Amino acid sequence: MNKILLPLLTLSSTIAFAQQQVKQDTTKLNEIVISENRLQTPFSKQARNIQLITKEQIAEMPVKSINEALSFIAGVDVRQRGPFGAQADISIDGGTFEQTLILLNGVKISDVQTAHHSMNIPVPLSAVERIEIIKGPAARIYGINALTGAINIITKTSESQSIAINLQAGSSFEDEAMGDGSGIYGGASAQAAIRMAGKNSGHLVAFGLNDYNGQRYNSSTYDYRFFYQGDVLLDDKNKFNFMAGYISNAFGASGYYAAPGDKEAFEIVKTGLIALGSVHQLSKNFSLRPRLSTRYNWDDYRYFRNDLTRARSLHQTKVWSAELNSSLTTSIGDFGFGLESRSEDIESTNIGDRERYNHGAYLEYKTEAIKNLLLNLGTYVNYNTQYGWQAFPGLDVAYLFAPKWKFAFNVGSSQRIPSFTDLYLNQRPGNIGNPNLTSENAWQYEVSLQYKVSSFQVQTGYFYRNINDFIDWVRSSSSVPYQPQNFGNNKIQGFNVMLGQSFNVGAKSTVTYQLSYNYLHAGEISYTNNVTSKYVVENLKNQALGRLTYKNGNWQLMAGGRWIERALKNPYFVGDLRLTYGKRNWNIYTDVTNIGNASYIEVAAVPLPKRWFALGTNIRFDL
């Protein structure tokens, strides 16, 4: 009980350093249609545990990347190796980073070589409309690899014509380490998002550039990205959409994967993706939505950045996907049916040349026929050329038993198949794969209770997850490489509580706050004596988040704090601050991140930045 009370007391005493997103228009929020499945559902009628980060919140948070924005969401564990958006592992509710599926506008973009590269996303932060975080088993919705949940990044629409520009520069004002240079650590970023709208079409073109010389030895990062999205309305029943993106990301990788020997490591990751889809309303009640997509990833890992003749790993992956989704509206509810086929291919210097195929089909049913009851059930049937057939059923139920109360229950099955790195990596003496791995399979049960009146909301929940054939990277001594193994069951329980409110202070001032606490307990896994486990060391146990916004006229102050405790590491607290002054089409802001100058590590042996100062501006030109 003390482990639960301590973070709550911490939040109460540090609310002045808590950050919360800007006050939202509740009506607009409820009208958002969640893209979490083929049967799209208004946010207010969801029966799942779904959280949102809107574009308004993103624009006002003291963050520089999608990774950092996600770190303020309860239950989401962001473990950054590289700051400034260079590299991060994302997990949900005590899972591993391989068990969270990443999507862009509903297209799966998780990396098949290793999920370390899943967040190498070619979309600047200024082009993001919102981020949908679907917690719990999502295999019924998306198929394999959504074992603990999914994160769907939605880009901005083009209903208006504008040019939005974001410029930012920052520094820790600390001297560069010997071997890096003779100045101070710092850098800058620039983003532009151009939206164009015609009578029957809309277009989004976005660019981004980050250039930082680092925050410690060999931690520089340089990336540029481009993204395009277009929609063409042929008539009132047929619509085509297209998106394409590319990112080149180069960064110092000291301590990322094989510390302490990788002090001079460097990595270059290039990712491109293309997706073409359409929507056809074949009748009043029946629609068809086909889509083709491809993702290409090139990874160049250099153990010695200045010597390319040894210890260099080159990987190229190609993924092709075809899917057909449909929905039928009837008097008894809505039905969804679809097919999906996917090929995955890798050519690698230390993984080899490998390929595999995945085929799936789903059936889903949603109804509100019973008063005050929201019901959604279905199943996804999958065939993988390595792991055979499996079905993933699931059920979501929500009951509105009073005007201000909602009770929800969810149960579902899910699977995560090993990545190519899990299976075939040969990177001695650091890490080696295990071709005998079987896939992870899980059942999860969750209950939640929500109370909402006006702008005040309280939500609490509990989940239990049982993963069979859990995969963990382990080693018996420092003289042997890490290797993944299947370790029977991993039973995880989690409790969470969140409350928030917006209220006026005087005639011109508004205060918004949100507090949340998550407690996770992973059951005992059958490790032998003297085994070092990557999962056990980094597994999240306690997470307490606080957010606060104070707005007065053209001024806004946002502050945020997060207290994190992992299984075998010391807890840490990080506080951030943003002060903004602006009007309708422009603002200027200053950020101070890690105000307390805390020393902390989220993953591996990578200390993250100490206190960091930044100055930036947002400008929008309406065309």
| Stretch 350-375: mean pLDDT | 94
Residue 603: the pLDDT is 85
How far is residue 303's CA from residue 311's CA, in Å, rounded to a whole number?
Answer: 5
Q: Which residue type does 202 have?
A: G
Q: Is the pLDDT of residue 104 over 70?
A: yes
Distance between CA 544 and CA 451 in Å, rounded? Answer: 20
From the list 152, 107, 110, 109, the residue with the least C-alpha distance to 129 is: 152
pLDDT at 293 over 90: yes
Residue 1 has pLDDT above 80, yes or no: no
Confidence band for 619, pLDDT divided at 50, 70 and 90: very high
What average pLDDT does the segment 577-602 reach? 95
**In angstroms, rounded to a whole number, what is the distance separating the alpha carbons of residues 348 and 420?**
10
Poorest-pLDDT segment among 5-9, 217-221, 375-379, 504-508: 5-9
Domain containing 113 — which CATH number? 2.40.170.20
Helices (runs of H) and strands (runs of E) counted in the chain: 7, 36
**pLDDT value of position 539:** 84
- Least confident window among 62-76, 140-154, 155-169, 523-537: 523-537
Enumerate the H helices of 33-172 as residue ranges: 55-60, 66-70, 139-142
pLDDT band at 28 (very low <50, low <70, confident <90, very high): low
Quote the pLDDT of residue 523.
Answer: 73
> Torsion over CA of 5, 6, 8 and 13, rounded to 10 degrees?
140
Phi/psi for 26 (5° steps) reads -60, -40
Cα separation, 176 vs 173, in Å, equals 9
The predicted model gives 127-154 an average pLDDT of: 92
How far the first Cα of the chain sits from its last, in Å, is 57
More confident residue, 542 or 33: 542
Q: For residue range 430-454, what is the model confidence (pLDDT) as tens digits?
A: 789 999 999 999 999 999 999 999 8
The answer to whether 338 touches 382, Cβ cutoff 8 Å, is no
Q: Which domain holds residue 87?
A: 2-622
In this structure, of 23-27, 204-208, 347-351, 514-518, the range with the lowest mean pLDDT score is 23-27
64 neighbors 46 (Cβ within 8 angstroms): no
Structure letter (DSSP) for residue 135: E
- CB of 440 closer than 8 Å to CB of 415: yes
For the cut 80, the answer to whether the pLDDT of residue 159 exceeds it is: no
Query: What are φ and ψ of residue 125, in 5° steps?
Result: -60, -35
Q: Is the pLDDT assigned to residue 364 strictly greater than 90?
A: yes
Q: Report the distance separating Cα 553 and Cα 158, nearest Å.
A: 29
Query: Where is pLDDT greater, at 416 or 199?
Result: 416
Residue 25 has pLDDT above 90, yes or no: no
Number of structural domains found in the chain: 1
Q: Sorting pLDDT into bands at 50, 70 and 90, what band is 40?
A: low
Q: What secondary structure does DSSP assign to 516-564, as a single string?
A: EEEEEEEPP--PPTT-EEHHHHH-EEEEEEEEEEEEETTEEEEEEEEEE
Those residues with Cβ within 8 angstroms of residue 555's Cβ, 6 or more apart along the chain or in another chain: 579, 580, 581
pTM: 0.92
Cross-strand partners of 612: 593
- Distance CA(594)–CA(614), nearest Å, equals 12
The pLDDT, as a whole number, for residue 17 is: 29
Residue 300 confidence (pLDDT): 97
CA-to-CA separations, 386 to 68, 340, 435, in angstroms, rounded: 35, 17, 11
- When mean pLDDT is compared across 234-238, 507-511, 520-524, 616-620, the lowest value belongs to 520-524
d(CA 276, CA 459): 39
What integer best gives the mean pLDDT of the chain?
A: 89
Please work out, in degrees rounded to the nearest 5, the angle formed at the alpha carbon of residue 78 by the alpha carbons of 75 and 80: 170
